[in-house]
Amino acid sequence: MENSQTLGEIKSKVESYVGKFSALKDQIARVIVGQEDIVEGTLFALMAGGHVLIEGVPGLGKTLLVRTLAETCGLEFARVQFTPDLMPADIVGTNIIVEGESGEKMFRFQPGPVFTNLLLADEVNRATPKTQSALLEAMQERQVTVSGKTYPLEGVFFVMATQNPLEMEGTYPLPEAQLDRFIYKLIINYPARAELIEVLRRTTSEETPHAERVVSPEDLSEMQRLVREVIIAPHVEELAADLLLRTHPGNEEAPASVQSFVRFGASPRGAQAMVLTAKARALLAGRYNVSTSDILAVARPSLRHRIILNFEGEAEGLTTDSILDDVLQSLPANQSHTRRNENERPRAEL
């Protein structure tokens, strides 16, 4: 009886997660036309407690996506436009001199825009490496250190950084250490013809659609905790590990393209990213456990920014996505398709 009650609680939590996730997608869709994969990927990263790097040309709705997400969750939103003259203090904050009631001078910490829930780092590759690194501690440790004193970032903290792939002059490519802090890299493309027409209808008429708040910050924190509780079977963990190791040129099981064109493979954070976002995806499907199909579905956005091509790969014009295609095709047959067994059924139905 006690076990049945526990399964009932699990089922209730999963259904609540699915309902709230779907409500978020529906509200965002009222404002954002199309881009379902980008919206879903951003939400998976948010539920997994990670950060997202979005690559795309200006005008495709990246800023609008973050602002809409903040509205639907009741979260604070801040935007920083990265430029070559931006300083680290412009992001994390600085100590300022203030005058006390009795006239004495003292230092007081003035928080920067990083002290928010959702931070948009727009065109992050336009700032110098010193300024880019100001985000590292905040993204990884959820804290910032100024003048030797540490200030924690409370509550939900989600960074969405964007970079423009076209205008590369005067930019500073993100260092590998910072790229590794992003749980996902998403590539946003131009809308289709029908979607473009719908964008025109929504943005050039008298009424502009707005999203409504459907999830509270407390609900969001609970959803993030539930993602961590999702079960993953040993053979699914092994698939994530095998995928990661096959991106390393020194691995004998890596495909020929990895051996020839990759300088460094993905770091262990790539496997962590796959597992966490696969858990968020499994819950959306109503399952309390991760399947192999979940891992395969999240492999590209989890790993594409963690693979570094060598000179030959860059000269050939290869992309890390094409390398990952070869990696996925190199998997044994028993790993490259979805296996429906006891470990892949919804836990609440066992």
Which amino acid, residue 166?
A: L
How far apart, in whole angstroms, are the C-alpha atoms of residue 132 and residue 191? 30
Cα–Cα distance measured from residue 281 to residue 100, given in angstroms and rounded to the nearest whole number: 52
Q: What is the pLDDT of residue 10?
A: 83
* 116-121 average pLDDT score: 89
Question: Position of tokens 């456990």?
Answer: 289
Residues linked to residue 160 through DSSP beta bridges, in sequence order:
52, 120
Return the higher-pLDDT residue of 348 and 168: 168
- The DSSP H or E segment spanning 122 is strand 118-122
Return the structure tokens found at 243.
């995928």
Q: How far is the C-alpha of 251 from the C-alpha of 311, rounded, in Å?
A: 19
Nearest to 270 by CA among 322, 235, 308, 309: 308
Summarize the confidence of residues 214-242 as an average pLDDT. 91
Q: Are 221 and 156 in contact (CB under 8 A)?
A: yes
- What's the mean pLDDT in 231-235? 92
Q: How far apart are CA 344 and CA 196, in angstroms?
A: 39
- Residue 341 has a pLDDT of 42
Q: Which of 13-22, 82-91, 113-122, 204-213 has the lowest mean pLDDT?
A: 204-213
Confidence of residue 235 (pLDDT cuts 50, 70, 90): very high
- What DSSP letter does each residue of 38-71 carry, written as one string? HHHHHHHHHHTT--EEEE--TTSSHHHHHHHHHH
170-222: per-residue pLDDT in tens? 677 787 878 888 999 998 888 788 878 887 887 777 777 777 888 888 889 89
The angle at the Cα of 92, spanning 87 to 96, to the nearest 5 degrees, equals 85
Band of residue 126 on the pLDDT scale cut at 50, 70, 90: confident
The answer to whether the CB of 61 falls within 8 A of the CB of 192 is: no
Distance CA 140, CA 129 (A): 17
Predicted confidence at residue 172, as pLDDT, reads 77
Q: Which residue has the tokens 């709705």?
A: 61
**pTM assigned to the model:** 0.85
320 contacts: CB under 8 Å, gap ≥ 6: 303, 304, 305, 307, 309
Work out the burial of residue 103: count CB atoms within 10 Å of its CB; fewer than 13 is exposed, 13-18 middle, 19 or more buried.
Answer: exposed
| pLDDT (average), residues 288-301 | 93
Return d(Cα 110, Cα 221) in angstroms, integer.
27
CA distance to 19, 44, 47, 167, 271, per residue, from 244 (Å): 32, 20, 22, 31, 6
* Percent of the chain's residues with pLDDT above 70: 91
Confidence band, pLDDT 50/70/90 cuts, at residue 47: very high
* Helix, strand, coil tally for the chain in percent (to 5): 50, 15, 35
Residue 101 has pLDDT above 60, yes or no: yes
CA-based angle 213:217:219, to the nearest 5? 90
Which structural domains are found in the chain, ordered by start?
A: 33-215 (3.40.50.300), 230-350 (1.10.8.80)
Is 275 within 8 Å of 47 (Cβ atoms)?
A: no
Strands 105-111 and 149-152: unpaired
Q: How far is it, in rounded angstroms, from Cα 39 to Cα 281?
A: 13
Q: What is the pLDDT of residue 227?
A: 93
121 has a pLDDT exceeding 80:
yes
In a 3-state reduction of DSSP, which class is residue 106? Answer: strand
Q: Is the pLDDT of residue 324 over 90?
A: yes
